[in-house]
Amino acid sequence: MKEKFENTQKCEFLLELGNNIICQRYFTVRNFNQKAIYSIDLHDTVKYIVDEIKRSLVLKTILFLDSSYRENSNDVANKGETFTITIKVGNRKILTTIFPSSVYPPKIRYTVDIRPQISYILRELTETLSSKKLTTHYQDYSLIVNK
């Protein structure tokens, strides 16, 4: 017997460096909870994902500098590029997080590979977006905005 899912929503995870797409994945959230897009839980999930990506980049940087460190004072600034993570529900951007890329050497920031982590990332986002128990109030304020 097939289980029926009330509300299924198409979503997108997008990681960019400057205007270049590093990773773009579409995923489906079954039993999508509309309140999740206004929740602190979604913010915390994306913050955790960013922290994991940063940790991976730091480890790669340490290994790179340890094995082939050459001081290069001619390293051009990264032209204001930043890493950007965007979460979309349908065609609507619901969350965008930006973090610096200039703290990583060019060889590291231009060869980011999150493929080993992507299934975990999508699973965490799916669980958060379909969760029934969410934090939608902060102090005395409701985070849900009426459209």
- Residue 102 within any structural domain of the chain: yes
For the chain, list the strands marked E by DSSP. Answer: 9-17, 20-29, 82-89, 92-100, 137-138, 141-142
- The answer to whether residues 128 and 136 touch, using CB atoms and an 8 Å cutoff, is no
- Residue 144 within any structural domain of the chain: no
- Residue 77 within any structural domain of the chain: no
- Residue 76 within any structural domain of the chain: no
- Residue 14 within any structural domain of the chain: yes
- The answer to whether residues 107 and 75 touch, using CB atoms and an 8 Å cutoff, is no
Higher pLDDT, 47 or 5: 47
Query: What's the distance, CA 28 to chain centroid?
Result: 16
| Cα–Cα distance for residue pair 18/62, rounded to 1 Å | 23
pLDDT at 69: 59
Count up the domains in the chain and report the number. 1
- The answer to whether residues 16 and 86 touch, using CB atoms and an 8 Å cutoff, is yes
DSSP 36: G
pLDDT at 95: 93
What percentage of the chain exceeds 90 in pLDDT?
56
pLDDT at 139: 78
Band (pLDDT 50/70/90 cuts) for residue 3 is low
pLDDT at 24: 95
Phi, psi of 129 (to 5 degrees): -70, -15
Band (pLDDT 50/70/90 cuts) for residue 74 is very low
Show the domain range for 32.
9-68+82-138
Judged by DSSP in three states, 140 sits in coil
Average pLDDT for residues 46-66, to the nearest whole number? Answer: 91
DSSP 34: G
- Residue 86 within any structural domain of the chain: yes
- Encode pLDDT of 11-21 as tens digits: 999 999 998 99
- Residue 104 within any structural domain of the chain: yes
Average pLDDT for residues 25-48, to the nearest whole number? Answer: 93
- Residue 4 within any structural domain of the chain: no
pLDDT at 46: 95
